[in-house]
Amino acid sequence: MPTVACPDCATTNRVPETRLNDNPRCGRCGTALFQGAPVVLTANNFERHATAELPLLVDFWAAWCGPCKVMAPQFDAASRMLEPRFRLGKMDTEAEADIASRFGIRGIPTMILFKAGKEIARTSGVMSAADIVRWASAQAGRAGKLPYRGTSRAAFAARIAARFRANGARQCGESRGR
């Protein structure tokens, strides 16, 4: 039974796999566990989300980073496609500099995929929603989690990708670990 952290109170909830699609709510505060949007991660809730069994995909970003702004709506769209198989979260590398430094974030945007407290994979640079979905699904699949499959969502992802190709921005700073 996967564990999922509440986007509001960060309480760890156990949700049967078969109930993930039934709009499950937090047993403590009643908030919907999935809201079709990334959770804002801070030092207060990061551990709970990262140690949950539901894979956590984190976008490390900063307000001064142009490519991060380009990627933000793509990441939002990806959260609507990847939930409830994944939790998506945003980490402001300025506000949470300690966490960014703990994970050696150099170039942003950088995405890291966590599962049950472990880093599974990371990648740097702007990605379209479709590519985010593909990348996260492939990495999680490699780590033993079935990727999300859905034809209508794939078509939606392709539309987003087509729109995204118009944009040339890529990445701020130096990337690492490529």
Q: Candidates 28-36, 84-92, 121-129, 143-151 — which segment interacts with Zn ion by CB under 5 A?
A: 28-36
Establish if 29 lies at the interface with Zn ion (CB under 5 A): yes
**Residue 142 contacts by C-beta under 8 Å, 6 or more apart in sequence?**
120, 121
Name the strand (E) or helix (H) holding 60: strand 56-61
Establish if 9 lies at the interface with Zn ion (CB under 5 A): yes
Establish if 8 lies at the interface with Zn ion (CB under 5 A): yes
Tokens coding 96? 């949470």
Sheet holding 118-124, edge to edge: 39-41, 87-92, 56-61, 110-115, 118-124
Residue 65 annotated in active site: yes
**Residue 162 contacts by C-beta under 8 Å, 6 or more apart in sequence?**
none
Asked if 121 contacts 67 with a C-beta cutoff of 8 angstroms, the reply is: no
Cβ closest to Zn ion, residue 44 vs residue 151: 44
Instruction: Tell me, by CB under 5 A, how many residues bind Zn ion.
Output: 8
Of the residues 6, 9, 29, 68, only one is catalytic, namely 68
Cβ closest to Zn ion, residue 28 vs residue 159: 28
Draw the binding track, 61-80, toward Zn ion (x: CB under 5 A; -: no contact).
--------------------
Residues recognised as catalytic: 65, 68
List residues near Zn ion by CB under 5 A.
Answer: 6, 8-9, 11, 26, 28-29, 31
